[in-house]
């Protein structure tokens, strides 16, 4: 069985004491989950190992035979400036530490110093290196405009440029172990994105999904952390929690914005300490899963009103993806319409109906508050009512008619922009401009344009004929 390696790049321990290398390797794995480790007792072999094993971080002793740590540091900095080097020395010498930092060392620690401080410094170096590699990959993808693993997004139907940029970003952070926050309106496909992130990560464990909306504090603890036998009345057997079930894989917490403050504290502690206690147990277990969280809530607003902890937010938002609403992806609507109609016909055992040519235009001018999920539901409803011939637009028109067409202040400000150094258009001219915009959005379809304007089709037709008559020069 393959083992997930953390971090994605190798960590090389260089020390002439074999016993220290063994104990240090064990400490890194148990205290920080770092298991992508290589060891080197002979400093003369270090450069070959760096090149052979794609090393990203070196933990280096100073006093060694053959080639000293300071000499090796200079060689690493010169030949591999992208590799971070941390000095882990038995000497508490200020001048040596300053010299190493000036020579390019990332940090300097004393072997006998506080263990937690050393581990935190190593974690910090790994995070910095991960960020460098992610930025490098993002630049490569941006300029190439290609995906390395398009198969990971095969279940997400889109031709929208914004969504493709999201895919490129996800590829660039896929191998990182840091957490991902997915935001977006309900129905935009957050769970599908979580699945894509898991597939891209190459993790051997499962993707375990939990919807935490409305979950009380005690149930949250039992669900995530599990319990020991006898932890409470009725706990006849020990049960593993979702964190343990996701070991080696990914834990997806949906609707994180609805989590209670008490549960937020427990989640924060899990992320800070990297370990947890099952209910009724005094033996800690390590977090060995990548965390992905999602919400349709505005977490900035929830932080402002005190219902979401700021410290938890900053732990979760290292990588953040904001999924665009369907109304912002108009080119995807015809594509999704055909797909869902085909899917509905197959499931209902019918032939796929013929789509009226004005239907995609109508839907491209609908706000879709329920996003992709709403479009799917409308398609299934329409196919279930279909009796032959061209598909009726009644189901779709009803949804458009029942929609809240009120304009937000922000949208109104964006639309009505009148430069102060230009005269205002007349009321008649403004009405004409509005009609022109509606006809443009409706692709010349008067019926759809009339819906957008909130008037009848005959009234729009009369206005257009009247304008045409005014524009025709008299003989």
Q: 441 vs 312, which has greater pLDDT? A: 312
Question: pTM of the predicted model, to two decimals?
Answer: 0.73
Give 340-344's long-range contacts (Cβ < 8 A, gap of 24+): 340/375, 340/376, 340/379, 340/380, 341/379, 341/382, 341/383, 341/391, 343/376, 343/379, 344/379, 344/380, 344/382, 344/383, 344/384
What pLDDT is stored for residue 410 in this prediction?
Answer: 53
Q: What is the mean pLDDT of residues 39-47?
A: 93
C-alpha span between 248 and 5 (Å, rounded): 9
Residue 314 has pLDDT above 50, yes or no: yes
What pLDDT is stored for residue 1 in this prediction?
Answer: 39
- Give 42's pLDDT tier (boundaries 50, 70, 90): very high
Residue that is written with structure tokens 């598909």 in the block: 391
What pLDDT is stored for residue 180 in this prediction?
Answer: 94
Judging by DSSP bridges, how do beta strands 226-227 and 239-240 pair with one another?
A: antiparallel
Q: What is the pLDDT of residues 362-413, one digit of tens each?
A: 999 999 999 999 999 999 999 999 988 899 999 999 998 876 555 545 555 5
Residue 474 has pLDDT above 50, yes or no: no
- % of the chain exceeding 90 in pLDDT: 52
Enumerate domains of the chain plus CATH numbers: 10-135 (3.40.50.2300), 155-324 (3.40.50.300), 328-401 (1.10.8.60), 422-471 (1.10.10)
Average pLDDT, the chain: 87
What pLDDT is stored for residue 249 in this prediction?
Answer: 92
């Amino acid at each position: 069985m393959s083992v997930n390696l953390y971090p994605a790049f190798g960590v090389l321990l260089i020390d002439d004491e074999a016993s220290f290398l063994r104990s240090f390797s064990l400490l890194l794995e148990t205290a920080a989950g770092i298991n992508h480790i290589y060891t080197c007792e002979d400093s003369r072999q270090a450069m070959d190992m760096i090149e052979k094993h794609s090393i990203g971080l070196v933990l280096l002793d100073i006093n060694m035979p053959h080639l000293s740590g300071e000499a090796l540091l200079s060689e690493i900095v010169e030949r591999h400036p992208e590799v971070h080097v941390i000095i882990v020395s038995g000497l508490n010498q200020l001048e040596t530490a300053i010299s190493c930092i000036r020579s390019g060392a990332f940090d300097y620690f004393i072997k006998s110093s506080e263990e937690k401080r050393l581990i935190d410094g190593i974690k910090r170096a790994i995070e910095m290196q991960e960020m460098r590699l992610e930025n490098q990959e993002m630049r490569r993808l941006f300029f190439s405009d290609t995906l390395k693993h398009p198969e990971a997004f095969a279940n997400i139907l889109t031709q929208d440029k914004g969504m493709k940029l999201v895919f490129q970003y996800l590829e660039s952070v896929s191998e990182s172990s840091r957490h991902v926050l997915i935001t977006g309106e309900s129905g935009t496909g957050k769970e599908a994105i979580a699945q894509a992130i898991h597939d891209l990560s190459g993790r051997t464990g499962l993707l375990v999904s939990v919807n935490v909306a409305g979950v009380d504090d005690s149930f949250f603890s039992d669900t995530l952390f599990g319990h020991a036998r006898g932890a409470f009345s009725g706990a006849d057997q020990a049960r593993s929690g979702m964190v343990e079930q996701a070991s080696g894989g990914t834990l997806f917490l949906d609707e994180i914005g609805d989590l209670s403050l008490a549960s937020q504290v427990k989640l924060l502690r899990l992320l800070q300490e990297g370990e947890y206690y099952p209910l009724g147990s005094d033996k800690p277990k390590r977090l060995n899963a990548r965390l992905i969280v999602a919400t349709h809530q505005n977490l900035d607003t929830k932080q402002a009103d005190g219902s979401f902890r700021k410290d938890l937010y900053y732990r979760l938002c290292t990588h953040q993806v904001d999924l665009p609403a369907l109304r912002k992806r108009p080119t995807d609507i015809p594509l999704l319409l055909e797909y869902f109609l085909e899917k509905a016909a197959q499931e209902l055992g019918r032939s796929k109906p013929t789509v009226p040519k004005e239907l995609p235009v109508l839907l491209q001018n609908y706000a879709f508050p329920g996003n992709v999920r709403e479009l799917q539901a409308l398609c299934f409803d329409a196919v279930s009512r279909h009796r032959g011939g061209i598909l009726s637009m009644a189901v779709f028109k009803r949804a458009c008619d029942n929609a809240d067409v009120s304009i937000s202040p922000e949208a109104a400000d964006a639309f009505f922009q009148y430069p102060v150094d230009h005269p205002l258009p007349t009321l008649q001219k403004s009405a004409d401009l509005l009609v022109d915009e509606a006809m443009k959005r409706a692709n010349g379809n008067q019926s759809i344009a009339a819906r957008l304007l909130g008037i009848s089709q005959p009234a729009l037709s009369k206005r257009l004929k009247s304008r045409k008559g005014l524009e025709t020069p008299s003989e």
